[in-house]
């Protein structure tokens, strides 16, 4: 701001005397000023929508807003405009709070000189501009890095695909028979190609994790099944090295609430590492169990009989790009991103991951995942201010394919429908339960509405309207939406709120298991598309 | 029964050659195109039963090709499998929305790709039959 530039001030002040005084001080200053004065917050916000002033001078107590609420709404409305609060003698504490929460400065009314005011405005404008520049530059840096990585990954994949295609052509005998040695050599090439491929994937994954763009789609999954899947995938690799792959899965293991593809990624990474760092004739063990002290989590561990990890490096191995300096043998260990990605995936699931190891005694990597718990999922919507709501409404959405088996990429269609559903609910009022039923070829989703029938009706309409826009559903399937009010048993005086939630959850899960039989659905309203 | 015909559209001639070998070995007839413009002309001329499409193409990228296929009465019914080196997180949904049947990132698993090709062909035959046999 130079002295010759006009400063546009939006003054939001309801006291005419104070407003006049501030206006006078502004005009007395050295630099040219234009003042737009309004006396209500709503008028101020409206003015901010029309034009952006250089600075807002804001009284906190206005006819339509008081205290902290006033500056919060201004900042929310115009985050890039500097705000200077005008406080009374008795509310300096509030003004200080405002400064902590994004306001640039405060002035105490009655003590305002024109010089003081001018300087405060100038600094506020400068600081806000610096903050904005910093924000933009940080975002640009991250964007640039991601763009670069995405570009590099694309460029590397193209020749890699070509190598992959020709090697597999040869290995599959499509270019004539191979001598046994030649086949072995080509298998080595293919192994390296796959390693390169994995590195490229990890590089992108790590960048995504770092910029908070990694996504997880949680479902209700069985850890036991996933472990068996990983064991089947990696057993050939283990057999090749004469390493035993053992499983120890607790029979009473509860289901977990997690993204199956991501958890598979973590498991593959840990088991693959275990095999890599275990000498021939050793063993890798995958275990899953529940610990008495922490019943809300499933503990999954991967132990090996390798050389173990030094105590000093234990805390470093989950960091990005960490490479074990002692691992300079014939194992090409990749980019050092695998465990970093594992940690980020586990973190996104609100779990923990750690390693325990003694040098020479092998290592055990353990991670936790939250148990799938209907009461835990339900409680945010059915408990209100420490009280159980008397009723709520279940909304059920069925996607029914036009043919059996379904045509086309039905799984993909369902995933996209689920994505649409998740955007239809209001996070503070509604809750989207993960897909729970598989009725034949149809995919079933349940949405729980926290409020009364009328609100559930509005949500149902919203869901229907959005799903109707899903093009592939139009020619591949139909949508059926039904609603069902759930009433609870009268509250028992001696039951804690947790117990009551548990009772409700039991009732809901029974309904879900029964597939919400039609006779139980008096308020059913089926809607069909197509 | 006549062999099913697959049109492979990719600007990397080496990859096209390898795909041709592999698809022929699986008893498919193969036609090829290396840019977005000739892709449409080839589709019209060759009347393929399925198209394998790269996204990064000269003279009209894969999305332009998808768009033109969808907007052509005679070509809209042909299943299109996208096979691209691009990031699925930013391209898969867009491709499927634009009418693709499936999205594979390069390098793709040969068996998986072949399964989807067979499934899409079976489906197209049962429900759409774009060309009279």
Digit-coded pLDDT (tens) for A386-428: 777 777 888 888 888 777 666 667 777 887 787 788 777 776 6
- Mutation test of the interface with chain A: which of B34, B97, B103, B107, choosing the one with the most A Cβ atoms within 10 A? B107
For residues A257 and A432, what is the distance between their CA atoms, to the nearest angstrom? 13
The partner residue sitting opposite A161, judged by closest CB among B25, B85, B102, is B85
Question: How many helices and strands, by DSSP H and E, does chain A display?
Answer: 14, 19
pLDDT at B123: 64
Enumerate the residues of chain A whose CB falls inside 8 A of the CB of residue B22. 165, 168-169, 172, 174
pLDDT at A331: 52
DSSP code for A103: -
At A217-226, the pLDDT tens digits run 777 788 998 9
The partner residue sitting opposite B106, judged by closest CB among A150, A161, A471, is A161
ipTM reported for the complex surpasses 0.90: no
Residue A96 and residue A191 in one domain: no
The partner residue sitting opposite B85, judged by closest CB among A157, A166, A471, is A157
Residues 135 to 164 of A: which have CB under 8 A from any B CB?
150, 153-155, 157-158, 160-162, 164
Report the residue of chain A nearest B92, measured CA to CA: A412
Residue A1 placed within a domain: no
> Per-residue pLDDT for A16 more than 60?
yes
Enumerate the residues of chain A whose CB falls inside 8 A of the CB of residue B97. 471
SS3 for B79-122 is CEEEEECCCHHHHHHHHHHCCCCEEEECCCCHHHHHHHHHHHHH
Residue A491 and residue A397 in one domain: yes
Q: CATH number of the domain that A340 lies in?
A: 3.30.565.10
Residue A142 and residue A245 in one domain: no
**Closest to A123 in 3D by CA, of A146, A107, A135, A136:** A107
The arithmetic mean of pLDDT across residues A50-60, rounded, is: 92
Residue B133 placed within a domain: no
Q: What percent of chain B is modeled with pLDDT above 90? A: 63
Q: Note whether B87 contacts A168, CB cutoff 8 Å.
A: no
Enumerate the residues of chain B whose CB falls inside 8 A of the CB of residue A160. 106-107
Enumerate the residues of chain A whose CB falls inside 8 A of the CB of residue B25. 172, 174
pLDDT at B10: 95
- Mutation test of the interface with chain A: which of B27, B57, B85, B102, choosing the one with the most A Cβ atoms within 10 A? B85
Distance of CA B87 to the CA centre of its chain: 18
Give the number of other Cβ atoms within 10 Å of residue A444's Cβ.
Answer: 19
Put simply, whether the predicted model's pTM sits higher than 0.90 gets the answer no
pLDDT at A493: 67
Report the residue of chain A nearest B102, measured CA to CA: A409
Residue A49 placed within a domain: yes
Structural domain containing residue A188: 138-210
pLDDT at B16: 95
Confidence band, pLDDT 50/70/90 cuts, at residue A11: very high
DSSP code for A45: H
Chain A closest-CA separation from residue B47 CA (Å) = 21
> Per-residue pLDDT for A322 more than 90?
no
The arithmetic mean of pLDDT across residues A283-305, rounded, is: 93
pLDDT at A53: 93
pLDDT at A268: 93
The arithmetic mean of pLDDT across residues B36-43, rounded, is: 93
Least confident window among A135-139, A155-159, A393-397, A452-456: A452-456
pLDDT at B44: 94
Enumerate the residues of chain A whose CB falls inside 8 A of the CB of residue B28. none
Enumerate the residues of chain A whose CB falls inside 8 A of the CB of residue B96. 409, 412, 416, 472
pLDDT at A521: 38
Chain B closest-CA separation from residue A420 CA (Å) = 13
Domain boundary among A156, A182, A210: A210
For residues B74 and A297, what is the distance between their CA atoms, to the nearest angstrom? 56
Task: Report how many domains make up chain B.
Answer: 1
pLDDT at A264: 92
> Per-residue pLDDT for A6 more than 90?
no
> Per-residue pLDDT for B29 more than 60?
yes
For residues A465 and A463, what is the distance between their CA atoms, to the nearest angstrom? 6
Residue A395 and residue A501 in one domain: yes
For residues A186 and A259, what is the distance between their CA atoms, to the nearest angstrom? 35
Structural domain containing residue B18: 5-128
Residue B76 placed within a domain: yes
pLDDT at A227: 94
Residue A105 and residue A171 in one domain: no
Q: How far is the CA of A295 from the CAs of A228, A299, A478, A485, in angstroms?
A: 23, 10, 40, 31
Q: Which two tokens stand for residue A222?
A: 């069985």
Q: Note whether B21 contacts A160, CB cutoff 8 Å.
A: no
**Closest to B110 in 3D by CA, of A171, A53, A467:** A171
At A115-132, the pLDDT tens digits run 889 999 999 999 999 999
- Among the residues of A215-279, which ranges form H helices? 223-240, 260-276
Q: Which residue matches tokens 């929508």?
A: A49
Domain boundary among A370, A385, A401: A370
Enumerate the residues of chain A whose CB falls inside 8 A of the CB of residue B100. none
The secondary element (H helix, E strand) that includes residue A182 is helix A180-210
pLDDT at A261: 86
Least confident window among A94-103, A515-524, B74-83: A515-524
The secondary element (H helix, E strand) that includes residue A346 is helix A338-348
Confidence band, pLDDT 50/70/90 cuts, at residue B133: very low
Confidence band, pLDDT 50/70/90 cuts, at residue B1: low
pLDDT at B129: 41
Task: Report how many domains make up chain A.
Answer: 4
Cross-strand partners of A487: A391
Give the number of other Cβ atoms within 10 Å of residue B96's Cβ.
Answer: 21
Q: Note whether B21 contacts A169, CB cutoff 8 Å.
A: yes
Residue A476 and residue A395 in one domain: yes
For residue B36, give every residue at least 6 positions away whose Cβ sits within 8 Å of its Cβ, in sequence order, or none: B9, B57, B58, B59, B60, B61, B62, B64, B65
**Closest to A341 in 3D by CA, of A369, A371, A319:** A319
Domain boundary among A370, A387, A410: A370
pLDDT at A204: 84
At A234-275, the pLDDT tens digits run 999 999 999 999 999 998 888 898 888 899 999 999 999 899
A52 touches chain B (CB under 8 A): no
At A334-371, the pLDDT tens digits run 677 888 899 999 999 999 999 998 888 889 999 999 99
> Per-residue pLDDT for A134 more than 50?
yes
For residues A266 and A249, what is the distance between their CA atoms, to the nearest angstrom? 17
Residue A126 placed within a domain: no
Give the number of other Cβ atoms within 10 Å of residue A306's Cβ.
Answer: 21
Mean of all residue pLDDT scores within chain A? 83
Kindly report whether the peptide bond that precedes residue A258 is cis, defined as omega within 30 degrees of 0. Answer: no
Chains A and B: how many Cβ contacts under 8 Å? 68
Report the residue of chain A nearest B108, measured CA to CA: A161
pLDDT at A150: 79
Residue A342 and residue A306 in one domain: yes
Residue A16 and residue A159 in one domain: no
Residue A261 and residue A165 in one domain: no
* Residue with the larger pLDDT of the pair B13 and A87: B13
* CB of A405 closer than 8 Å to CB of A441: yes
Confidence band, pLDDT 50/70/90 cuts, at residue A1: very low
Least confident window among A273-287, A444-458, B74-88, B91-105: A444-458
Q: Note whether A409 contacts B96, CB cutoff 8 Å.
A: yes
Residue B31 placed within a domain: yes
pLDDT at A9: 93
**Closest to A336 in 3D by CA, of A324, A326, A328:** A324
Confidence band, pLDDT 50/70/90 cuts, at residue A333: low
Enumerate the residues of chain A whose CB falls inside 8 A of the CB of residue B93. 416
Q: CATH number of the domain that B94 lies in?
A: 3.40.50.2300
Chain B closest-CA separation from residue A354 CA (Å) = 29
Residue A339 and residue A234 in one domain: yes
């Amino acid at each position: 701001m130079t002295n010759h530039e006009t400063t546009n001030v939006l003054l939001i002040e309801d006291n005419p005397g104070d407003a006049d005084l501030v206006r006078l001080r502004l005009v007395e200053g050295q630099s040219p000023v234009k003042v737009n004065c309004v006396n209500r917050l709503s008028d101020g916000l409206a003015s901010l929508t029309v034009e952006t002033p250089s600075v807002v001078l804001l009284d906190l107590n206005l006819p339509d807003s008081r205290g902290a609420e006033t500056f919060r709404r201004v900042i929310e409305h115009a985050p890039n405009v500097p705000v200077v609060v005008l406080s009374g003698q008795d509310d300096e504490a509030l003004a200080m709070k405002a400064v902590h929460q994004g306001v640039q400065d405060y002035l105490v009314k009655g003590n305002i000189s024109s010089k003081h005011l001018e300087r405060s405005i100038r600094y506020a404008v400068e600081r806000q501009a610096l903050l904005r520049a910093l924000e933009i530059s940080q975002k640009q840096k991250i964007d640039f890095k991601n763009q670069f990585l995405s570009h590099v990954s694309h460029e590397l994949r193209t020749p890699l695909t070509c190598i992959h295609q020709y090697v597999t052509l040869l290995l599959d005998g499509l270019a004539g028979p191979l001598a046994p040695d030649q086949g072995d050599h080509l298998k080595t090439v293919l192994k390296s190609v796959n390693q390169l491929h994995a590195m490229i994937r990890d590089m992108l994954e790590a960048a995504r994790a770092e910029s908070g763009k990694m996504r997880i789609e949680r479902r209700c999954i069985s850890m036991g099944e996933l472990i068996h899947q990983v064991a089947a995938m990696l057993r050939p690799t283990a057999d090749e090295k004469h390493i035993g792959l053992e499983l120890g899965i607790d029979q009473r293991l509860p289901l977990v609430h997690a993204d199956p593809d991501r958890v598979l990624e973590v498991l593959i990474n840990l088991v693959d590492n275990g095999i890599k760092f275990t000498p021939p004739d050793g063993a890798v063990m995958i275990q899953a169990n529940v610990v008495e002290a922490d019943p809300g989590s499933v503990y999954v561990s991967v132990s090996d009989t390798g050389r173990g990890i030094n105590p000093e490096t234990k805390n470093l191995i989950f960091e990005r790009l960490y490479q074990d300096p002692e691992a300079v043998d014939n194992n090409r260990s990749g980019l050092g991103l695998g465990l970093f990605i594992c940690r980020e995936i586990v973190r996104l699931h609100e779990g923990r991951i750690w390693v325990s190891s003694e040098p020479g005694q092998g290592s055990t990597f353990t991670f936790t995942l939250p148990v799938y718990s209907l009461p835990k999922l339900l409680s945010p919507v059915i408990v209100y201010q420490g009280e159980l709501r008397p009723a709520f409404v279940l909304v059920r959405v069925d996607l029914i394919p036009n043919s059996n088996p379904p045509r086309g990429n039905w799984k993909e269609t369902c995933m996209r429908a689920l994505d649409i559903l998740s955007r239809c609910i209001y996070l503070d009022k509604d809750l989207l339960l993960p897909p729970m039923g598989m009725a034949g070829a149809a995919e079933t989703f349940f949405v729980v509405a926290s409020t009364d029938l009328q609100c559930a009706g509005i949500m149902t309409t919203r869901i229907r309207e959005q799903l109707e826009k899903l093009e592939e559903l139009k020619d591949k399937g139909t949508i059926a939406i039904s609603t069902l009010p759930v009433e609870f048993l009268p509250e028992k005086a001696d039951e804690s709120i947790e117990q009551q939630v548990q009772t409700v959850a039991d009732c809901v899960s029974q309904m879900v298991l029964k597939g919400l039989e039609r006779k139980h659905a008096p308020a059913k309203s089926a809607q069909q598309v197509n | 029964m006549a062999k099913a015909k697959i049109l492979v559209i990719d600007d990397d001639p080496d990859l096209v050659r390898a795909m041709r070998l592999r698809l022929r070995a699986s008893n498919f007839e193969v036609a090829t195109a290396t840019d977005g413009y000739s892709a449409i002309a080839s589709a019209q001329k060759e009347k393929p039963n399925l198209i394998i499409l790269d996204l990064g193409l000269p003279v009209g990228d894969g999305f332009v090709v998808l768009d033109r296929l969808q907007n052509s009465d005679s070509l809209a019914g042909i299943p299109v499998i996208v096979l691209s080196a691009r990031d699925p997180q930013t391209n898969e949904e867009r491709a499927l929305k634009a009418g693709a049947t499936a999205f594979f990132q390069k390098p793709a698993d040969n068996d998986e790709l072949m399964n989807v090709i067979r499934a899409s062909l079976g489906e197209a035959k049962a429900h759409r039959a774009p060309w009279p046999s």
